[in-house]
Each structure stands twice: as C-alpha cells, then as structure tokens.
Amino acid sequence: MLRVGRGVTRGDIARALRRSRALTVTYSDVLGADEIREAVAGVRDAGSPVHAGPLLAWFGSHPNTPEDVLHDLAAGAPPREVLIALALNPRLPEVLRPALLGHEDEDVREHAMATFEGQR
C-alpha cells in the first residue's frame, strides 16, 4: 500500500511501484504542488510502469498539479487514462488543450470539449 500525502517522497513512490504490479493507493491531506511534483518524479524514477497509470491520471486531473508537471504528463504518448484526466482538468494550460481537442480518441476529444468549451 502507498500513502500519498504531505511528506511523500519520490523514493517512497518509486519503491512502492517497484515492489508490486498492483498498487493500492490511499490519499491523505491536501496535496500541494511540491508533493505532486515529488510523487510524479518518483513514478519517473521507477521507470513509469504501466500500473502507475491511475496515479498519474489522478495527478493529471488534480487542481493543484503545477503547470510543469501537466506538461510532463502530456509529453510523448501518455496512456489514455492520463489523457482523459488531463482533458478533465479545467486548469490545463491553454497550450496543451489543442492536442486534446483534436485527439484521435473520441473520448479524449469529448471530455476536452466539455471541459474547455466555456473557457475559450
């Protein structure tokens, strides 16, 4: 089990992801930008395993995720669940929105349209 909250370190995240292919995550406290940045760095340190997808998706939609981390999550070819989470984040930077609004996956496009329609 991995507890994500204040004080979580990249080492905690990386060790938990390396130990198990199935991960139970519990959340405590309100995560700030630094905790989210540290947690995503831990996922990257662990090699961004497939079973980290739900955790990355949660950060993609989290209102406190800093802009640099949102760019990191959107880079390359993120998993579908991360793309949908980013499409649900009303605080997603304007520069990242066109890729989601024009994405080949219909669900990603629809979620992005619903989220960003009134913000144009």
Where does the pLDDT of residue 119 fall: very low under 50, low under 70, confident under 90, or very high at 90 and above? Answer: low
Distance, CA of 116 to CA of 8 (rounded, Å): 32
- What's the mean pLDDT in 70-97? 97
Least-confidence region, from 21-35, 39-53, 70-84, 105-119? 21-35
Q: Is 80 exposed, middle or buried (0-12, 13-18, 19+ CB in 10 A)?
A: middle
Q: Give the position of tokens 């519990």.
A: 26
- What's the mean pLDDT in 33-49? 95
The set of residues, in sequence order, having a beta carbon less than 8 Å from that of 28 and lying 6+ positions away, is 3, 4, 5, 6
Where does the pLDDT of residue 3 fall: very low under 50, low under 70, confident under 90, or very high at 90 and above? Answer: confident
Could you tell me the pTM of the whole model?
A: 0.90
Q: Give the position of tokens 């989601």.
A: 100
- pLDDT for residue 27: 82
